[in-house]
Amino acid sequence: MTTKYKHDNPILVTGAAGAVGGIGRNLTEFLLARGHKVRALVRREDKRAEALRRLGAEVVQGDLTDLASMHRAIEGCRRIYFGMSVSAAYLEATINIATVARHHGIEAFVNMSQMTVSQMSISETTKSPQHKLHWLAEQALSWSGLPVVTMRPTVFLEGFFLTLAAAGVRASDELALPMGGGKISPISAVDVARAVAAILDDPAPHIGQIYDLTGPVSADLDHYAHVFSEALGRPIRYRDVPLQAWSEGLRQVRFPEHVVNHLSAMTELNKEGRYDRMTDTMSKLTGATPTNMRDFVKLHAAEFNQRGPALS
């Protein structure tokens, strides 16, 4: 049976097989479900690329910093989702894809940024090298003349609470993070992907808009430890670990220095209350309430219950 699509032109999704909280992979699935052709950009041919093909996506291998790769990826597309993992090459990649997108006359360019940019300016940045790259990238995109929609989510649930904290929950029943007593409103990358899908489905009303995305609650880590306890059925506590030791633990498991510096800066900003923010943008864009911590923990209970060494 031949699939009937809404448009002949595919939507380009970058980072379709990468991390970034899993946005690209989920976005690919959501757009396909909405009846769009999807061209999924991947860095390498592997099992994740093959899984995207099984979903129904056209898979293209390429590098965001390579000019020829971007021409192959963008030619024939009218709409683009651009997202990239934390990387020292982030600004180069942004300008490379934006330049080629402008050449090909893109009608919508959804850029995945992050919420801290809203607190930055020409005279104020943070200690995170990635935050500065995000801010500069937003400036460049605003100068580009492209039809840009900017997404600024807060911290991802899949990042701090799964990738970085799950080992401590498994090994010692604790959220071991250097987050101090600051409040945070984490959001699921799946929810962010759903919001991006809604925009790319009908981008015209959103061009030029900036959307700040948060989860449904802003609370401190003691609160979230209590939620973990309820969801997992065993006591979980929050342990505010020393930042220097935590950062060194990231290095020992081979996190790049650029990423370590970024994550370390985020924890310091959290202590200062810089992530204590709330919006209802997710609900307005999707008509659904963003995933709460309890449901997220229950969904990933197996990953929080398997015993193993902790990162602290």
Contact 185, 275 (CB under 8 A): yes
Interval 233-241 mean pLDDT: 97
pLDDT recorded at residue 294: 97
Q: How far apart are CA 189 and CA 81, in angstroms?
A: 14
Distance between CA atoms of 213 and 191, rounded to whole angstroms? 9
pTM value is 0.93
pLDDT tier, 155 (very low <50, low <70, confident <90, very high otherwise): very high
Give the three-class secondary structure for 114. Answer: coil
Query: Is it the case that residue 89 has pLDDT exceeding 60?
Result: yes
| CB contact at 8 A, 277 and 185 | yes
Instruction: Give the number of C-alpha atoms closer than 13 A to the C-alpha of residue 81, restricted to the C-beta side.
Output: 33
Phi and psi at residue 294, to the nearest 5°: -60, -50
pLDDT at 8 over 90: no
174 pLDDT more than 80? yes
pLDDT mean over 207-233: 97
Structure tokens at 46: 């592997």
Tens digits of residue pLDDT in 108-126: 999 999 999 999 899 999 9
pLDDT exceeds cutoff 60 at 262: yes
Of 101, 106, 31, the C-alpha closest to 64 is: 101
Identify whether the C-beta of residue 265 lies closer than 8 Å to the C-beta of residue 131: yes
* Residues of the chain above pLDDT 90, percent: 87
**Residue 231 above 80 pLDDT?**
yes
User: What band does 222 get if pLDDT is binned at 50, 70 and 90?
Assistant: very high
- Per DSSP, the residues of 276-289 read -----HHHHHHSSP
- pLDDT score recorded for residue 17: 81
Separation CA 209–CA 214 (nearest Å): 16
Mean predicted lDDT score pLDDT of the chain: 93
Q: Is the pLDDT of residue 104 over 90?
A: yes
Confidence grade of residue 258 (pLDDT, cut at 50, 70, 90): very high
177 to 22, 44, 280: CA distances (angstroms): 22, 33, 27
Backbone torsions φ then ψ of 61, nearest 5 degrees? -90, 135
pLDDT (0 to 100) of residue 309: 47
DSSP 162: I
Quickly state the pLDDT bin for 306 (edges 50, 70, 90).
Answer: low
Query: Tens digit of pLDDT for each residue in 14-64?
Result: 998 865 458 999 999 999 999 999 999 998 888 889 999 999 999 999 999
Predicted confidence band of residue 182 (pLDDT cuts 50, 70, 90): very high
pLDDT of residue 307: 58
> Is the pLDDT assigned to residue 312 strictly greater than 60?
no
Q: Which residues have a Cβ under 8 Å from the Cβ of 241 and sit 6 or more positions away?
A: 176, 177, 178, 312
The residues pairing with 240 across neighbouring beta strands, listed in sequence order, are 177
Among 142, 203, 164, 181, which residue's Cα sits nearest to residue 272? 181
pLDDT of residue 57: 95
Cβ atoms < 10 Å from Cβ of 216: 18
Predicted confidence (pLDDT) at residue 67 exceeds the cutoff of 70: yes
* Percentage with pLDDT > 70 across the chain: 95
